[in-house]
A and B are shown apart, each in its own frame.
Chain A
Amino acid sequence: MASGIRDKVALLGMGCSRFGERWNDNAEALILEAFSEALDDAGIEKCQIDAAWFATAIEEQHVGKSGIPLAMALRLPLIPVTRVENYCASGSEAFRGAVYAVASGACDVALALGVEKLKDTGYGGLPQRSRGAVNDMYWSNLSAPGAFAQLATAYQAKHGVAREDLKRAMAHVSVKSHANGAKNPKAHLRKAIDEDRALNAPMIADPLGLFDCCGVSDGAACAIVTTPDIARGLGRTDLVTVKALQLSVSNGTESQHNSWDGSHFMTTRVASARAYEEAGISNPREAIGLTEVHDCFSVTELVTMEDLHLSPEGGAIKDVMDGVFDAEGPLPCQIDGGLKCFGHPIGASGLRMLYEIYLQMQGRAGDRQRSTEPTFGLTHNLGGFPHQNVCSVVIVGQEGA
């Protein structure tokens, strides 16, 4: 029986570039920016890193394929570099590779770094690209907002929710993230908005308006991980360790079998349940102090609260409107602004989420610091579409908790 990852690996250092429209920087500059911060934080030399995992999702738009771009950007000393891509879970996938390498004993110190340059397309939103030779011939002409917007229609139908009530809760989600992003100097979008502005924005994919959609950004983030013993040997105390690393990938049930109603994420329910078990958490709503979830769209965040078993099924609208997930609420979500406002450079996003939780656990989150440092924090990525996706759930926490 596998014993899981709990407390086997510690975060030694983390870094994150400023996210946003980095018109004057290539991906290599963003990589260096995030890595330099992480290396300083870790207090080690570059040559102490044994292996690296490199995440980018839309590499054609910037660095191209393989692990070489990372090795060249950082002049890594001919160590193994693995490039990973798993839709929007790519960053968390890189982290998983590095953590598993350390846990296995194959490496003492490993690096996970994600980067994306999305602002070189000439238009707003994600790049419109081929989905694969066969898929292009029969997949619907879907965009990310159009795929996720369908959660809203199915959720309304399933729970008998009025469109206006769901729209208002979605607006609350976005207003909250904008307020949080305004306090984050590295965030892409730093202006607060009010509910009216969110509700009256131009429609992108019905019922998602402009402010229901996250920023599409340039940016990089990274983590350096090692064993708790090595971290202590380097003089580190109050370690933040990895409690759970889970991934769940759609097998076609949602898109091809009539057992799924379209109102929730099958994968998230499975991945989060496995993660809580791996982390030894029996009551997540009580235990988790902070979440960074994949709020690519406001409705995604809302539904995800249920699929992470933090809100009861059908109860997310009430929790959102009650302020449960606000920065001052009992279970803040996207306290750094989230994908919505910190931004969403795909390959970097999972690592950016961990970065915020890591800072919050160490009391280093500046203006947005929680008064009580969280014991457990959870990150969640959702790559692809509600009907066909890759879901990652990572839990980190204070060592021994």
Chain B
Amino acid sequence: MAVGIHAFGGYLPRRRLSRQIVVEANAWFAPALKGLGRGERAIANWDEDPVTMAVEACRDALGLLDRSTLGALWLASTTLPFEDRQNAGIVAEALGLDSTVRTLDIAGSQRAGTSALLTAIDAVAGGAGPVLVTAAEKRRTRVASPLELTSGDGAAAILVGEGDGGAVVLGAATETADFVDHYRGQHQDFDYVWEERWIRDEGYQKLVPVAVERALAAAGVGAADIQHFCFPTSTTRVAAALARRLGLSDGSVRDNLQVSCGETGVAHPLVMLVHVLQQADEGDLILVTGFGQGGDAVVLRVGAGLADRQPVRGIEGSLAAGVSDTNYQRYLAINDLITIERGLRAEVDKQTGLTTLYRNRAMLLGFIGGRCRACGTPQYPASGACVNPDCGATGPQDRYPFADRSAQLNSYTSDRLTYSPDPPAYYGMVQFEGGGRAMIDFTDVDPGATLEVGVPMRMVFRVKDYDPMRGFRRYFWKAMPVLPSAPAEE
């Protein structure tokens, strides 16, 4: 049975931290970092994590597709916010997926993204139905470490389904070896990394080729025929050397997005794949690899259907939407890499009642309101009594999702009194086309942005509050100004 990629999407957070600023700030201590000072890296906002970025990538991939046909949703990451609460389940609630969907977190290795994709291919071939694979990463890195400079935050989503789709899977293979180039043990915040030269010579150059050659053989494709080779590491010369060793053409080595985004960990092979799929032509052969305790490789052929399956944003759109950021101090503060004086207002207890959360999960995680059965007025939250002053009918209301509806700004402020990890706090009244409104937090408002009554807003899934005392975080939706390159909502 043919298995292919039927939809795909990507998400990179908006801010791109200047590496030069980071290098300069740390030059007194680590002057050798100078060689990594070129370009920018994508950094998540304070209210983003792998779950929220995965939601954005999945929304981009799914677009207006019927979500009820999804068989499974798998989330791959090594930086999931919950160790014991299924993170993919949060994504499923945010996407409003049917409760029959099979959800799973896939973690434990930098290879988790490609391994999830390979496993999804097998599952679909076995009749599991369409599987949405999403991968996201937001690595916590030490100040003045190479990883701080080379990492990026981001997510991608790939919908694997029966049939050719936009790109059909020709073959895949995995090589497994407990090659520990780095690790992060229990209760450790940061990676422990071994020497780069060893990783290059014994890891990349020896383990990846084994997987690639087996995948090419399975696909019945010669190395020289590959148009796009995705090798997701930050070191630029390694991919070229690997290509030569494997017999891949020089021109096939894909941009690893190091200059514009950084290496997004588990997500990076899929981020690069989405980027390729936004640029490839019919008939192109794509080789995607993943590295970590061995290697994964998958070979795809672009079909005629790719043009019709393009996401609104993808990685290209995400790259175009980036804004340069030179505020290293802010990056350190929002990632808790320095101890900042947050003030007494930050001390409010953010305990979440788990009963309360469960009862209201559609409202909070899915942003689902109600529509009055008597007068048709949409409202948020759903209520047993219609809010329309001319109606007021009581009784159950129809489920009415708001997340993807067009909205506009009615009133707003930027607040420097209330506690926010990223002051000022922007919020205001957002009104939905067709009815419904909410006084809601804003996010990703550019400094000095001109908000005005009537501007279009879109909704994004974000962290609302952190509860550091209990290690919990609660999610909700926020509004952000519609960017020129952002998705046009229904």
A interface residues (Cβ-Cβ under 8 A, vs B) = 121-123, 125, 128-130, 133-134, 136-143, 145-147, 149-151, 153-154, 156-157, 202-206, 208, 251-253, 255-259, 261-262, 385, 387-388
Stretch at the interface among B52-60, B199-207, B344-352: B344-352
Of all A-B residue pairs in the complex, the 5 with the closest CB atoms, nearest first, are A146-B415, A150-B411, A140-B427, A157-B453, A143-B418
Pairs A–B under 8 Å by Cβ, sample size 10: A134-B360, A136-B350, A137-B464, A138-B438, A142-B425, A147-B439, A206-B415, A255-B437, A255-B439, A256-B437
B251 within 8 A of A: no
Question: Are B363 and A149 within 8 A (Cβ)?
Answer: no
Most A CB atoms within 10 A — which of B343, B344, B437, B452? B437
| Beta-carbon contacts under 8 Å, B189-203 to A | none
Interface residues on chain B, size class? 35 or more
Instruction: Give the docked Cα–Cα distance between A138 and B348 (Å).
Output: 16
Is B331 among interface residues, defined by CB-CB distance under 8 A? no
Q: In chain B, what residue has the closest Cβ to A128?
A: B345
Question: In the assembled complex, how far is the CB of residue B318 from the closest CB belonging to chain A, in whole angstroms?
Answer: 26
| Additional A-B contacts beyond A123-B343, A157-B454, A256-B436 (5; CB < 8 A) | A137-B464, A140-B441, A142-B418, A253-B387, A261-B410
- Inter-chain contact A153/B364, CB cutoff 8 Å: no
Q: What residues of A have a CB within 8 angstroms of the CB of B329 in the complex?
A: none
Q: Does B235 contact A (CB under 8 A)?
A: no
* Contact between B427 and A252, CB atoms less than 8 A apart: no
| Identity of the chain B residue whose Cβ is nearest the Cβ of A205 in the assembled complex | B415
CB-based contact B348/A130 at 8 Å:
yes
Q: Is B249 an interface residue (CB 8 A)?
A: no
In whole angstroms, how far apart are the Cα atoms of A138 and B361 in the complex? 11
B436 touches A258 (CB 8 A): yes
- Min CB distance B401 to A, Å, is 15
Q: A255 contacts which chain B residues (CB < 8 A)?
A: 429, 437-439
B453 touches A149 (CB 8 A): no
Give Cα distance in the complex from A208 to B420, angstroms.
18
Chain B residues with CB under 8 Å of A136's CB are 350, 465
Q: A140-B440, A256-B437 are in contact. Are A387 and B413 (CB under 8 A)?
A: no
Interface assignment of B474: CB less than 8 Å from any CB of chain A: yes
Residues of chain A lying within 8 A (CB to CB) of residue B231: none
User: What residues of A have a CB within 8 angstroms of the CB of B464 in the complex?
Assistant: 137-138
- Interfacial chain B residues near A137, Cβ < 8 Å: 352, 356-357, 360, 364, 464, 474, 476
State whether A149 touches B415 (Cβ < 8 A).
yes
A-side contacts of B247, CB under 8 Å: none
In the bound complex, residues from chain A placing their C-beta under 8 Å from that of B363 are 138
B347 to chain A: closest residue by CB: A128
Q: Judging by beta carbons under 8 Å apart, are B429 and A387 in contact?
A: yes
Q: CB distance B431 to A203 under 8 Å?
A: no
Say how far A202's CB is from chain B's closest CB, in angstroms. Answer: 8
Interface assignment of B377: CB less than 8 Å from any CB of chain A: yes
A200 to B417, CA, bound (A): 17
CB distance from B288 to the nearest CB of A (A): 39
**Min C-beta distance of A298 to chain B, whole Å:** 14
Query: A252 to B383, Cβ gap below 8 A?
Result: yes
How distant is B128 from chain A, measured CB to nearest CB, in Å?
34
Q: Which residues of B contact A (CB under 8 A)?
A: 343-345, 348-350, 352-353, 356-357, 360, 363-364, 377, 379-381, 383, 387-389, 410-420, 424-425, 427-429, 431, 435-441, 452-454, 464-465, 474, 476
Is there contact, CB below 8 Å, between A129 and B389?
no
Chain B nearest CB from A116 CB (Å) reads 19
Q: Identify the interface centre among B414, B424, B437, B439: most chain A CB within 10 Å of its CB.
A: B439
Check if A256 sits within 8 Å of B353, measured CB to CB: no
In the complex, residue of chain A having the shortest beta-carbon distance to the beta carbon of B349: A130
A280 and B133 CA atoms in complex are apart in Å by 70
Whether A154 and B417, one on each chain, are in contact in the complex, defined by CB atoms closer than 8 angstroms, is no
Cα of A225 to Cα of B438 in the assembled complex, Å: 42
| A121-B344, A154-B410, A253-B387 known; A143+B437 contact, CB < 8 A | no
Cα–Cα, bound, A157→B428 (Å): 14
Chain A residue with Cβ nearest B454 = A157
Q: Smallest CB-CB separation from A256: which chain B residue?
A: B387
Contacts of A145 in B (CB 8 A): 413, 415, 417
Contact B419 A262 (CB under 8 A): no
Q: Which of A140, A150, A206, A253 contacts B389 (CB 8 A)?
A: A253
> Judging by beta carbons under 8 Å apart, are A262 and B429 in contact?
yes
Is there contact, CB below 8 Å, between B415 and A143? yes
Distance between Cα atoms of A208 and B415 in the complex (Å) = 9
Determine if A122 and B344 form an interchain contact, defined as CB atoms under 8 angstroms apart.
yes
Contact of A141 with B441 at beta-carbon distance under 8 Å, contacts A134-B360, A146-B413, A256-B379 already known: yes
User: In whole Å, how far is A66's beta carbon from the nearest beta carbon of chain B?
Assistant: 23
Q: Are the C-beta atoms of B353 and A133 separated by less than 8 Å?
A: yes
Q: Which of A122, A252, A253 is packed against the most chain B CB atoms within 10 Å?
A: A252
Q: How far is the CA of A258 from the CA of B454 in the complex (A)?
A: 13
The residue from A128, A150, A253 contacting B428, defined by CB atoms under 8 A apart: A150
* Least distance between A232 CB and chain B CB atoms (Å): 45
By a CB distance below 8 angstroms, the chain B residues around A129 are 348
Contacts of B380 in A (CB 8 A): 256
Residues of A contacting B377 in the complex (Cβ-Cβ under 8 angstroms): 257
The distance from the CB of A196 to the nearest CB of chain B, in whole angstroms, is: 21
A284, B299: Cα distance in complex, Å? 80
**How far is it, in angstroms, between the C-alpha of A263 and the C-alpha of B392 when the chains are bound?**
24
Between A128, A145, A385, the greatest number of chain B beta carbons within 10 A of the residue's beta carbon is seen for: A128
A122, A141, A150, A251: the one within 8 Å of B425 (CB): A141
CB distance from B42 to the nearest CB of A (A): 25
